[in-house]
């Protein structure tokens, strides 16, 4: 489930607003810094958090745990240092003003506080403040996969751990999600043996280092925890606490209890009990098991559901507190099936996970559900295992037979678990709308709850018929509910673009068809007298698999300049059967859900098994083992970069990961060096300053170079984690047109021994500005260690954008050719500012014809080289979440931006001359509406006389050159945009965008 999933949107009548001429930004007292509004801010300070503290402060002993041990939150040293950090937080708040919301001390040194703009700006200028960011709203990313993954059987990983009744014993999986349904059989008491009921402190066989608690609340008592569900907490301070939830989402439980079902599902998948019998419609599939069936579960509820359970969301401040608490409690693994940044390694959640990994906690995170679009993968950090979603071998196969008078019957095959129904009259939903219902609501078969309280389908047209509904926007099962409520007896659900087809538990018999069948089915439904029969479905366990699920987000990664490969691995994520919470799942105890939310807990559960098998392995060793032992999806050859950007290193194979041979390990100093190489690390000093690491050289089990300028060498360090002395030899497949030399080509390692290898890439004939893919394999007689590679040769490696405030800017470029070179200025041009107001969209679904949108027409003339449309958090009137959508005059969506705040940007490079319509969507305003300022720039190909560029006149392969920019005549308090265009040879990159915000 993803609130930003767009369906085909037709042209619509647009409201035109008059655009204002170029303007400057008038400063006011509260604008004396980057922040201009009140709200919750997350503030990071410069001392190390508990899990990484090395004793550098006089009088405070180190709290960093030894390798393989957990930090003890009850120890005197930890309590003393944690109190020290909290007192520093309090001092900063006293000095600046504001009200504390959370203290973070274990995985993030800082706090969340309610601050005015003035207070936030004051803190931003404090020398001890590393970063300060506004709170953001983030959302969840939404039969026997143990058999499919090979965990079962005599040679499966479970057997190596004593069987399913001991696999994952005493490993604690912390799940940050929407809560848990404790009555589910997936979490029933593991053992009793005469032990009294759970008291919140007495747990039979307490896992070593566990300090968590069972927090009571609405319909959640101590007895709801047990020896399986050993911890449960909830976090809602950013919503205003229980009172805020009761006011904003009154249907929710102000406790760890799950309303939505998402958290119960992910917890059940990762560590649900073995051989749990299913009930209701799921009974046909038999029993289910979690990946680590003897693991303990600790739930950290920080997502709060919509009433229809279409999604659940939470604020960054609550999520960071949940992570901080989970690590302090002593979890071994965290599953995080929640959306995240695609661009920012220093995001508070990403930093919290870095310190969680330093504490020995393995983190699995969902890659996102924005596929099949490329460059959409989230959670970019290398210390996280980012998981894409694939299919598996269980399938519900169904079909529908359509009869049109005068034509032969046609049968269409799709996904289904339906009982037979029909023949019955066939009708297209588009022809069955209630008067006044929007065309979009009708076509998508909205229920009343989907449509602001008014149903979309007309019972007079639907009763007794099989209805054709388009996929998109509302939940798939809600569409069949709309059909049922209007008296329909069956549904044909059709994709409008390539996407997954899913065998859901629908309210009426349903078959789900691919978009390639849509035109034919809709044409048949338009014929008078057409009938349809939904045929009985069959459940099979031999479907070809795995393929990449269409919704799964893909690389290349937007962060890191293409030098980090994400996702890391792929795991089952489509039609996953697990326990759910009945309130948000139509009364079901078990349901089929799809998303990278479902693939991530597979990896978390398998990581728990590997941690059980290899207690001394680091989180990065586990990640490496999963990557180097992976297999391929069936989408195409593993040397195709498109395939690699879908699967990462490949589909997890737990049994092979248990004995990988070699691992690519990394630790805290490596992560600090990585951040320093990205220009992000302000925690890189101290007694051992971090050494900057180029992202391509980061020691992980993949290789990515986003800008190979002729030749580049990367290094990797491998460690033998096997039991024998082995000799490995290197081989390479793929990377056509690029010569690859591995040094040494062969090497021998004793158990526990490490060595560094170098891999040199030299472009010969590979196409410029296009990725090439390949695989590096290090093979011994017993092991095959495979590393995916994606390389993009360029004639010139140059930054996509540079920024400044009006002073000189200097940056380096690297040449991938020999010959002449030039760099010329375009612009700078000032922004055009357009004020506007947009109402809150109660449905949280963008529709050009619906509520909560404001539109602006922008004429883009011929010869435009770059058009940019932007919103800024500081130019709205509150803590608003606004989104941008840009359409051309034909009604085609050409750009969108939808983060958890109002910081949005859409770029059009060399756009066609046209009048574009920019929609501002009021996804979540902090009142009935939001005022904002829309910024846009139209950049041509000429200089404006206010930017001077100096650069080398010749290029030499592999050499670097400095580009120096100086500025003159700029107005104060103005946002400018320009670019530096490159010349001299064919295939040079796009111009480097220049942003100058004058004070």
HEC letters along 716-781:
EEEEECCCCCEEEEEEEEECCCEEEEEECCEEEECCCCEEEEEEEEEECCCCCCCCEEEEEEEECC
Q: Judge whether 234 and 263 are in contact, CB under 8 Å.
A: no
- The angle formed by the CA atoms of residues 705, 711 and 715, to the nearest 5 degrees, is 60
Instruction: For residues 310 and 3, give the distance between their C-alpha atoms in angstroms, rounded to a whole number.
Output: 8
The whole-angstrom separation of Cα 897 and Cα 696 is 28
Tokens of 417: 């678990």
pLDDT number for residue 26: 29
- The answer to whether residues 303 and 236 touch, using CB atoms and an 8 Å cutoff, is no
Q: Token pair of 213, please?
A: 């608690």
Q: How far apart are CA 826 and CA 414, in angstroms?
A: 53
CA distance 329 to 212: 4
Catalytic residue among 103, 135, 141, 177, which? Answer: 177
Distance between CA atoms of residues 466 and 418, nearest Å? 13
| Greatest CA separation for the chain | 91
**pLDDT tens for each residue of 443-472:** 999 998 888 788 999 999 999 999 999 998
> How many of the other CB atoms lie within 10 Å of CB of 21?
7
**Active-site entry in 12, 82, 186, 262:** 262
Residue 93 confidence (pLDDT): 95
Of 85, 734, 670, 645, whose CA–CA distance to 382 is shortest?
670
CA dist list (Å): 244 to 39, 137, 237, 305: 15, 15, 8, 13
Which parts of the chain register pLDDT below 50? 1-32, 143, 191-204
Q: What is residue 10's predicted lDDT score, i.e. its pLDDT?
A: 25
Count Cβ atoms within 10 A of the Cβ of residue 51 and give its class: 0-12 exposed, 13-18 middle, 19 or more buried.
Answer: buried
Closest CA to 313 of 334, 335, 338: 338
CB atoms within 10 A of CB 743: 13
Q: How far is the first Cα of the chain from the last one, in angstroms, to the nearest whole number? A: 42
| Closest listed residue to residue 491, CA positions, set 428, 555, 441, 544 | 428
| Cβ-based neighbours of 420, under 8 Å, separated by 6 or more | 509, 533, 534, 535, 536
Q: How far apart are CA 617 and CA 663, in angstroms?
A: 10
**Alpha-carbon span 829 to 968, nearest angstrom:** 13
pLDDT of residue 141: 63
Distance CA 492, CA 469 (A): 6
With H, G, I as helix, E, B as strand and everything else as coil, classify residue 434: coil
For 45-61, the three-class secondary structure string (H helix, E strand, C coil) is ECCCCHHHCCCCCCCCC
Secondary element (H or E) of residue 117: helix 117-124
Q: Can you read off the two tokens belonging to residue 950?
A: 């100096």
Q: What is the pLDDT of residue 954?
A: 96
Please, how many CA atoms are within 13 Å of residue 675, restricted to the half-sphere of its CB?
22
Q: What is the pLDDT of residue 898?
A: 80
Give dist(CA 341, CA 345) in Å, integer. Answer: 8
- DSSP-derived pairing of the beta strands 362-366 and 531-540: unpaired
Contact 518, 494 (CB under 8 A): yes
Give residue 145's pLDDT.
76
Residue that has been written with the tokens 């309303």 in this structure: 259
Print burial letters for 77-93: b (CB count within 10 Å at least 16), e (below 16).
bbeebbebbeebbeebb
CA distance 596 to 266: 10
Residue from 731, 741, 732, 789 nearest 762 by CA = 741
Q: For the chain, how many helices (H) and strands (E)? A: 17, 50
Look at residue 784 in the predicted model and tell me its pLDDT. Answer: 97
Q: Is 597 considered catalytic here? A: yes
> Which of 255, 480, 597, 899 is an active site residue?
597
Which H or E run includes 622?
Answer: helix 619-628
Answer yes or no: 177 catalytic: yes
Contacts of 844 (CB under 8 A, 6+ apart): 3, 306, 311, 923, 924
- What pLDDT, on the 0 to 100 scale, is given for residue 543? 85
Cis amide leading into 744 (omega within 30): yes
Q: What number of CA atoms fall less than 13 Å from residue 331's CA on the CB side? A: 35
Q: What DSSP letter does each residue of 825-884 carry, written as one string?
A: EEEEEEPEEEEEEEE--TT----TTSSSEEEEEEEE-TT--EEEEEE-GGGBSSS-EEEE
CA 572 from chain centre, in angstroms, equals 16
Dihedral angle, C-alpha 444, 448, 450, 452, nearest 10 °: 120
Helix (H, G, I), strand (E, B) or coil at 6: coil
Name residues whose C-beta falls within 8 Å of residue 395's C-beta, 6 or more positions apart in sequence.
415, 503, 539, 540, 541, 543, 575
For Cα atoms 411, 414, 415, give the angle at the middle one, nearest 5 degrees: 145
CA dist 120 and 127 (Å) reads 14
Check if the beta carbon of residue 345 is closer than 8 Å to that of residue 384.
no
């Amino acid at each position: 489930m993803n609130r930003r999933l767009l369906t085909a949107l037709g042209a619509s009548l647009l409201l035109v607003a008059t655009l204002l001429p170029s303007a400057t930004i008038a400063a006011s007292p509260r604008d004396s810094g980057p922040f201009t509004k009140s709200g919750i801010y997350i503030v990071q300070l410069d001392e190390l958090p508990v899990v990484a503290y090395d004793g550098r402060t006089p009088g405070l002993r180190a709290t960093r745990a030894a390798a393989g041990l957990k930090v003890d939150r009850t120890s005197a040293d930890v309590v003393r240092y944690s109190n020290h950090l909290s007192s520093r937080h309090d001092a900063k708040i006293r000095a600046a003003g504001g009200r504390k919301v959370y203290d973070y001390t274990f995985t993030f040194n800082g706090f969340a506080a309610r601050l005015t703009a003035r207070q936030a700006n004051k803190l931003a200028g404090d020398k001890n403040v590393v970063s300060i960011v506004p709170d953001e709203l983030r959302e969840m990313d939404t039969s026997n996969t143990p058999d499919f993954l090979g965990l079962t059987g005599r040679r499966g990983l479970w057997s190596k751990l004593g069987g399913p009744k001991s696999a994952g014993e005493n490993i604690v999986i912390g799940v940050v999600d929407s809560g848990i349904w404790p009555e589910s059989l997936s979490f029933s008491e593991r053992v009793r043996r005469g032990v009294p009921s759970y008291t919140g402190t007495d747990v039979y066989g307490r896992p070593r280092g566990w300090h968590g608690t069972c927090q009571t609340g609405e319909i959640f008592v101590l007895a709801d925890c047990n020896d399986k569900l050993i911890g449960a907490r909830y976090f809602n301070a950013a919503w205003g606490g229980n009172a805020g939830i009761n006011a904003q989402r009154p249907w929710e439980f102000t406790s760890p209890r799950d309303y939505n079902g998402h958290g119960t599902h992910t917890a059940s998948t990762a560590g649900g009990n073995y051989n749990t019998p299913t009930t209701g419609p799921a009974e046909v599939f038999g029993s289910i098991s979690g990946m680590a069936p003897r693991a303990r579960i600790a739930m950290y509820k920080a997502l709060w559901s919509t009433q229809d359970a279409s999604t659940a969301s939470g604020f960054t401040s609550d999520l960071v507190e949940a992570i901080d608490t989970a690590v302090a409690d002593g979890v071994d693994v965290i599953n995080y099936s929640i959306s995240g940044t695609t661009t920012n390694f220093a995001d508070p959640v990403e930093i919290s996970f870095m310190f969680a990994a330093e504490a020995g906690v393995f983190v699995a995170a969902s890659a996102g559900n924005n596929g099949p679009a490329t460059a959409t993968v989230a959670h970019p950090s290398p210390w996280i295992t980012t998981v894409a979603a694939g299919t598996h071998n269980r399938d519900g196969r169904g079909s529908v037979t359509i009869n049109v008078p005068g034509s032969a019957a046609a049968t269409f095959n799709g996904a289904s678990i339906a009982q037979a129904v029909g023949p019955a009259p066939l009708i297209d939903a588009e022809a069955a709308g209630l008067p006044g219902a929007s065309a979009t609501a009708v076509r998508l078969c909205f229920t009343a709850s989907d449509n602001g309280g008014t149903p979309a389908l007309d019972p007079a047209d639907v009763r007794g018929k099989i209805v054709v509904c388009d996929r998109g926007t509302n939940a798939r099962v809600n569409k069949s509910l709309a059909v049922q409520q209007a008296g329909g007896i069956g549904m044909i659900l059709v994709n409008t673009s390539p996407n997954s087809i899913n065998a859901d538990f629908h309210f009426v018999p349903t078959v789900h068809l691919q978009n390639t069948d849509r035109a034919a089915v809709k044409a048949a439904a338009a014929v008078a007298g057409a009938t349809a029969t939904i045929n009985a479905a069959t459940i099979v366990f031999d479907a070809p698999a795995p393929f990449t699920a269409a919704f799964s987000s893909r690389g290349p990664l937007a962060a890191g300049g293409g030098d980090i490969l994400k996702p890391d691995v792929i795991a089952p994520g489509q039609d996953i059967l697990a326990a759910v919470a009945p309130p948000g799942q139509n009364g079901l105890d078990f349901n089929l859900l799809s998303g990278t939310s479902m693939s991530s807990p597979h990896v978390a559960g398998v990581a728990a098994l590997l941690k059980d098998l290899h207690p001394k392995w680091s989180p990065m060793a586990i990640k490496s083992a999963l990557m180097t032992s992976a297999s391929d999806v069936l989408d195409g050859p593993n040397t195709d970069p498109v395939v690699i950007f879908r699967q990462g290193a490949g589909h997890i194979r737990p049994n092979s990961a248990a004995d990988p041979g070699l691992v690519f390990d990394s630790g805290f100093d490596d992560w600090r060096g990585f951040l320093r190489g990205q220009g992000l690390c302000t925690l890189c000093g101290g007694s051992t300053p971090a050494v900057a690491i180029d992202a391509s050289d980061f020691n992980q089990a993949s290789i990515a170079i986003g800008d190979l300028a002729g030749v580049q060498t990367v290094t990797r360090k491998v460690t033998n984690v096997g039991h024998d002395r082995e000799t490995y030899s290197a081989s390479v497949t793929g990377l056509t047109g690029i010569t690859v030399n591995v040094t040494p080509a062969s090497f021998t390692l004793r158990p526990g021994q490490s060595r560094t290898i170098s891999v040199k890439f030299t472009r010969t004939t590979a196409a410029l500005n296009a990725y090439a893919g390949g695989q590096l394999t290090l093979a011994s007689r017993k092991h095959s260690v495979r590393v995916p590679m994606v390389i993009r040769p360029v004639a010139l490696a140059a930054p996509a954008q540079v920024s400044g405030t009006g002073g000189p800017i200097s940056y380096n470029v690297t040449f991938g050719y020999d010959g002449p070179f030039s760099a010329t200025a375009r612009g700078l041009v000032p922004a055009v500012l357009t004020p506007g107001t947009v109402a809150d969209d109660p449905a949280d679904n963008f529709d050009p014809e619906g509520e909560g949108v404001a539109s602006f027409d922008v004429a883009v003339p011929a010869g435009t080289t770059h058009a940019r449309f932007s919103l800024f958090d500081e130019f709205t009137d509150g803590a608003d979440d606004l989104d941008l959508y840009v359409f051309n005059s034909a009604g085609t969506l050409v750009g969108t931006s939808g983060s958890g705040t109002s910081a949005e940007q859409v770029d059009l490079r060399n756009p066609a001359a046209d009048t574009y319509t920019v929609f501002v969507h009021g996804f979540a305003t902090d009142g009935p509406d939001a005022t904002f300022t829309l910024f846009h720039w139209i950049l041509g190909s000429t200089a404006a006389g206010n930017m001077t560029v100096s650069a080398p006149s010749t290029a030499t392969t592999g050499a670097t050159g400095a580009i120096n920019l100086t500025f003159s005549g700029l107005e104060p308090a103005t946002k400018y945009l320009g670019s530096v265009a490159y010349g001299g040879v064919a295939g040079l990159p796009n111009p480097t965008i220049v942003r100058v915000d004058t004070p």
